[in-house]
Amino acid sequence: MASTRWWHREANYQVKAGRVALGLLIAFVLGVLAVLAWSGISVARAMPHIERAQHIAAELDTQSVLSGDTSQLDELQHELTAARGHMGGPIWSVAEVIPWVGPQFSAARTLTETLDELAHDGLATAAEAGAGLDALQPNDGQIDVDAVAALSPQIQSAHASVQNARERIAGIESAGLVAPLREGTAQVDLLLGEVEPTLEGTARATSLLPAFLGANGQREHLLLLQNNAEWRSHGGIVGQVIHITATDGYIEFSDQVPGADFPQLEEAVTPLDFDTELIFGDRPGRYMQNSTMIPEFSEGAQVARQFWLDEYGGDPSGVIATDPVALSYILEATGPVHLPTGDELTSDNVAQLLLNEAYLRYEDPAEQDLFFAVAADAIFDALLGGEAEPAEALRAITRSIEERRLLVWSTEERERVLLEGTPVAGEMPVSDAQSTRFGVYLNEGGGTKLSYYTAVGSSAAWCGDNTAVLRVTLRNYAPEDIEDYPDYLLATFDGDAHTASGVPRGITRTLAHVYLPEGAEFIGSSQNAVHLGQHDGRPVYEWTTDLAPGESATLDMRVRPMTGPQLEVLSTPVLNDLDVVPECGA
């Protein structure tokens, strides 16, 4: 009997314990449901604000923000403040630890907080500094270098805020998130990816410019105007060399010399790097016009500087290179300018006038050079005279930098450090753990001005056998009657059938120098590409094409890179781009 009573007591205890456990489970479930219900209501209230904020962020014009326009930013801040008002607190914190749903709440909070702090801190600071970017706007040829220097701390603070935001967004595990959160995270990351390089570039510029523009004493610089009608690795031959003096921000164009007026030397004006001479011979060092043939701009800039020193002396400490396409972007900011010839230069016609029409209009090269000089003076007078809209001027400069149409080198070590690793440094492609980078450098091979009519495209893609394919396509859009065009345009004399370098009259010869990633293994190519050697560890191949009007040619190179998963191609900036899609089976 005693054992029976014990059994009944034990059974009753187990029943009661089960009921308690069930009660606790029910209470827990009800608690979770209550937390989810409360949090869900909070999310429901926050979501309209979050969605509007994401839409504003996607449409945010960062160039306008950096020019001091806060209209979009104010609206973004309002929506994010409202969204954050429905998030956080103890109950929200509990929701964040619940399996599966917790990461959704955590991601929503992190995403909203990050974007809110970015809007109220980083972007607001950038906009505040942007309101002072008028200091970059020349006034009667002078830039307020003290005001530019004062902007530097604000821009650097804004840049640091954006970097911090990128780190927080990178910490969100987006794989398991619901679609709206996953898409929102990607959208914010995209915004930050656009803002960060602009802020970084602006931060470097505000650190570089004061001294570069003579805040600490007069500086001399050389401005190389490239001619894209005759390709060189960085864009085109050096058509004009402008000597600039800068004193306390006052900029003066003190001299202008056509590139063709410099002597043609028997040997290089200064010793070239061994690898440079291996690939290009000594031509870049014997002709001022060829100094932009060298893919590493720092070396080409020193060659150009030495040419100037030997002919004109002085002490130019900086070398800048740009082209007529970049000038067209400047004209978008300044508006049209008028020339003594009666021409009106606009963003739509300046490249055509300088790169083609001038050769058809003026047979005498001296008259062509005079036209180029007058046009350059007019454009830079408009820019330096303060006629450009600040926001548009910033867009023009940013676009020129992104397309590598604005390059800068300095003799000053501090300035070189600031330029290092940026697009304006004009460095050869460097591969790393994230990216595998190719280089495609184009050089006109017949002395003609027919690159004006040639379009080019290049792209790379991975194939299934762990190899990459680089595709380069050239297409000649010259008129069918190009043989009847002026001799100077065709690099011939008195109607000769061939140029001095042996190219048939009217044929466009292009030498494409393909730089493979460091350590890459060459597998094969669809065309005859000659291996020239290595340039700082990069295998280099030369592909030569002779194209008549209407013809095209495509090179496919298959390689096995040894670096990062993202493929990029650094190519010569040209007037006419082609979209190309690599094919693994080619």
Is 90 exceeded by the pLDDT of residue 58?
Answer: no
Share of the chain above pLDDT 70, in %: 75
Determine the Cα–Cα distance for residues 24 and 183; give it in Å rounded to an integer.
Answer: 38
Q: What was the pLDDT predicted at 131?
A: 62
pLDDT of residue 167: 80
pLDDT-above-90 percentage for the chain? 55
Q: Is the pLDDT of residue 295 over 90?
A: yes
Q: For residue 36, is pLDDT > 60?
A: no
Dihedral sign of CA atoms 349, 450, 397, 383 in order: negative
Which of 30-34, 337-341, 462-466 bottoms out in mean pLDDT, i.e. has the lowest?
30-34
The model's pTM: 0.82
Q: What is the pLDDT of residue 275?
A: 97
pLDDT in tens, 201-237: 778 888 899 999 999 999 999 999 999 999 999 999 9
**In the prediction, which pLDDT does 20 show?**
39
Query: Could you write out the three-class secondary structure of 164-201?
Result: HHHHHHHCCCCCCCCHHHHHHHHHHHHHHHHHHHHHHH
Span 77-82, average pLDDT: 60
Rounded distance, CA 102 to CA 96, Å? 4
pLDDT of 86 > 50? The answer is no
Which of the pair, 483 or 182, is modelled with greater confidence? Answer: 483
With bands split at pLDDT 50, 70 and 90, how would you rate the model's confidence at 147?
A: confident
Distance, in Å, from the CA atom of 579 to the CA atom of 311, rounded to the nearest integer, reads 43
**How far apart, in whole angstroms, are the C-alpha atoms of residue 35 and residue 25?**
15
CA distance 345 to 77: 42
The sign of the dihedral angle between the CA atoms of 56, 57, 61, 66 is: positive
Rounded to the nearest 10 degrees, what angle do helices 101-117 and 179-212 cross at? 30
pLDDT tens, 472-518?
A: 999 999 999 999 999 999 999 888 899 988 999 999 999 999 999 99
Residue 150 has a pLDDT of: 82
Which of 23-32, 108-117, 268-277 has the least mean pLDDT? 23-32
* Higher local confidence (pLDDT), 200 or 211: 211
Supply the mean pLDDT for the chain.
83
Better pLDDT: 349 or 93: 349
Task: Write the secondary structure of 320-335 as one string of H (helix), E (strand) and C (coil).
Answer: EEECHHHHHHHHHHHC
Instruction: Report H helices in 238-348.
Output: 274-280, 283-286, 297-312, 324-334
The 3-state DSSP class for residue 560 equals strand
Q: Give the pLDDT confidence score for residue 26 in this predicted structure.
A: 36
Residue-range domains of the chain with CATH: 16-212 (no CATH), 219-417 (3.40.630), 429-577 (no CATH)
Any long-range contacts for 312-317 (C-beta under 8 Å, 24+ apart)?
312/243, 312/255, 312/257, 314/220, 314/243, 315/220, 316/220, 316/221, 316/222, 316/243, 317/219, 317/220, 317/221, 317/410, 317/411, 317/412
Three-state DSSP at 226 gives strand
φ, ψ for residue 363, nearest 5 deg? -80, -30
Which has more pLDDT, 278 or 73?
A: 278
- Higher pLDDT: 544 or 188? It is 544
For residue 30, report the phi and psi dihedrals to the nearest 5 degrees. -60, -40
